[in-house]
């Protein structure tokens, strides 16, 4: 087996998604702890002196304790090279989560055992199911009082339309949490509240048939309940089928407590056995095999000002095939340019290291002088193909943006354009009015706060946002066949254009969309834009 094949085969690239506060950041830190990437897990929130979580770096994230952007972490564990893509845990950032999932081969879904599938996370998890990638579930916080285990599984199945297969089973929760039953090994792994920031100690395993020893450890009542639940479980739960898991139709479920480090390494080991090496990707010329093909990658994220001192923009790319070397020339397919990628780096939260090489499955960040867009493809100079575009989610909230200080027009235009190129917001202008006014559209209202904060913090520009009543947006699919000036709309319709000059229509009411289509024969409207 060649070195290239070996390197690609040992890579695992996954995204981690959850509701805010389900413990995703703590779980990520514990993974890094096992990989030896950090020596002590820091506290995410809490005291001002406490170290912030490695994966949250933007100031607003630290202030609010939420992940606004996705960060990328790489570590080694047990011969594997693991790339974790952390995603925002808030539904208002589901578009960013979707883009990140485009770069991942599988997803880990973290659920709080006392809350189950929370209302505002449904959208995020559905985005995950939409991608049809393998989903692995970690039900966290079992050291706190949790919901009934069968109810939790039932909720995942009903809410997300995906079958569940528990690989282990919790014994009690909260103060009565005794450990987990490993269904493959048919043994009980006893819970111990290990020192929180360190690696898990040797877990004590007791085979199910050693009833006396088990009774001494967990008590008669817990043992009776466990035996009853195992019987129910063996009769009722879906059989484990790796093919179904890999099609995204069955999720293996694990239980534990990331805070106390219990069940995390068990989950990581199983997860690595079940996930695949980087898979072939669809391009306009067919499937591109990670091992057989030369270097290729696509841009799934652009982030400005990761380092305030440098005012830089980083384009994050997922390498889909072959090997990347720092000095090589590549072709930027959409721009038609042959170039060397500047300052290729791997990013461990806000720490970076310059890269000499990387392989299919890896995520690299490169300096972006303003030429890359989300969805762009890079390949070798003599080749030419493009990976599937990443859909743009239709914004659901709109506001007119006004500058407080009109003398700062230049900084304002630069700032809002850069933030829009990252894909967090979409900007529009009035159609053919000659007005310079900018309308911002977002998927979730929290993005308005982030926009305000970032313009002020990173570009020194203060803005006021005036909410607009529009809720529906449609792209005009056949714009070349339609005379926009003669378009007959409804009284609640507004014509706008996007950053690339494409015409769009905004509506207050959904029924106006149908009415506009009826009034303009041949007009084709679509809910998705394409990058």
Residues forming the annotated binding site?
18-25, 86-90, 140-143
Give residues with Cβ within 8 angstroms of 388, minimum separation 6. 282, 283, 284
Pair 439, 400: CB distance under 8 Å: yes
Contact 300, 390 (CB under 8 A): yes
d(CA 404, CA 245): 53
In whole angstroms, what is the distance from residue 74 CA to residue 109 CA? 19
Q: Where are the beta strands (DSSP E) in 40-191?
A: 72-77, 80-86, 106-112, 135-140, 163-166, 168-171, 179-182, 187-190
Cα(329)–Cα(325) distance, integer angstroms:
9
Distance CA 125, CA 112 (A): 14
Q: By C-alpha distance, which of 54, 13, 79 is closest to 269?
A: 79
How far, in Å, CA of 193 to CA of 174, rounded?
12
The encoded tokens of residue 436 equal 């310079």
CB neighbours (10 Å) of residue 451?
A: 23
- Closest by CA to 248, choosing from 126, 337, 146, is 126
Conformation bin of residue 281: beta by default, left when phi > 0, alpha when psi is -120 to 50: beta
Instruction: Say how far apart CA 252 and CA 274 lie, in whole Å.
Output: 9
Residue 129: strand, helix, or coil: helix
Helix (H), strand (E) counts: the chain: 13, 33
Of the candidates 136, 124, 122, 110, which has an alpha carbon nearest to the alpha carbon of residue 22? 110
Please provide residue 58's backbone torsions phi and psi, each rounded to the nearest 5 degrees.
-75, 140
Could you tell me if residue 411 is left (phi over 0), alpha (psi between -120 and 50 degrees) or otherwise beta? alpha
Pick out the residues of the known binding site for GTP.
18-25, 86-90, 140-143
């Amino acid at each position: 087996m060649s070195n290239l094949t070996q390197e690609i085969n040992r890579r695992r690239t996954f995204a981690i998604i959850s509701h805010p506060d389900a413990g995703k950041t703590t779980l990520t830190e514990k993974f890094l702890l096992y990989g030896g990437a950090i020596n002590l897990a820091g506290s995410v929130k809490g005291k001002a002196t406490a170290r912030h979580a490695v994966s949250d770096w933007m100031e607003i994230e630290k202030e609010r304790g939420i992940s606004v952007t996705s960060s990328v972490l790489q570590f080694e564990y047990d011969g594997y090279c693991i790339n974790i893509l952390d995603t925002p845990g808030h539904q208002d950032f589901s578009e960013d989560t979707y883009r990140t999932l485009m770069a991942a081969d599988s997803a880990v879904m973290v659920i709080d055992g006392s809350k189950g599938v929370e209302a505002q996370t449904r959208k995020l998890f559905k985005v995950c199911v939409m991608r049809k990638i393998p989903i692995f579930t970690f039900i966290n916080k079992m050291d706190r009082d949790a919901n009934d285990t069968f109810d939790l599984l039932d909720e995942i199945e009903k809410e997300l339309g995906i079958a569940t297969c528990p690989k282990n089973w919790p014994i009690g929760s909260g103060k009565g949490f005794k450990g987990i039953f490993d269904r493959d090994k048919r043994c009980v792994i006893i819970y111990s509240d290990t020192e929180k920031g360190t690696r898990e100690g040797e877990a004590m395993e007791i085979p199910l048939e050693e009833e006396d020893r088990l009774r001494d450890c967990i008590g008669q009542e817990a043992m009776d309940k466990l035996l009853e639940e195992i019987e129910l479980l063996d009769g009722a739960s879906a059989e484990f089928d790796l093919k179904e898991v890999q099609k995204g139709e069955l999720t293996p479920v694990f239980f534990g407590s990331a805070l106390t480090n219990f069940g995390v390494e068990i989950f990581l080991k199983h997860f690595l056995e079940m996930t695949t090496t980087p898979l072939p990707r669809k391009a306009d010329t067919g499937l591109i095999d990670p091992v057989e093909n030369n270097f290729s990658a696509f841009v799934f994220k652009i982030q400005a000002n990761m380092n305030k001192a440098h005012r830089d923009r980083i384009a994050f790319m997922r390498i889909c095939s072959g090997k990347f070397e720092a000095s090589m020339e590549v072709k930027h397919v959409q721009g038609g340019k042959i170039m060397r990628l500047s300052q290729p780096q791997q990013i461990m939260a806000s720490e970076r290291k310059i890269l000499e090489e990387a392989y299919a499955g890896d995520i690299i960040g490169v300096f972006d002088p303003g030429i890359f867009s989300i969805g762009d493809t890079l390949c070798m100079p003599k080749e030419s193909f493009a990976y599937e575009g990443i859909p743009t989610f239709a914004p659901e909230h709109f506001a007119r943006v006004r500058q407080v200080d009109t003398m700062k027009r230049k900084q304002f235009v630069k700032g809002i354009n850069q933030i829009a190129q990252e894909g967090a917001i979409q900007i529009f202008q009035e159609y053919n009015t000659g007005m310079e006014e900018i309308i911002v559209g977002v998927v979730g209202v929290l993005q308005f706060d982030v926009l305000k904060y970032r313009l002020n913090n990173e570009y020194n520009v203060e803005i006021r946002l005036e909410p607009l009543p529009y809720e529906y947006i449609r792209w005009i699919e056949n714009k070349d066949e339609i005379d926009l000036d003669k378009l007959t709309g409804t009284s609640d319709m507004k014509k706008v254009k996007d950053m690339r000059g494409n015409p769009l229509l905004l509506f207050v009411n959904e029924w106006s969309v149908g009415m506009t289509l009826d009034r303009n024969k041949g007009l084709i409207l679509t809910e998705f834009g394409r990058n």
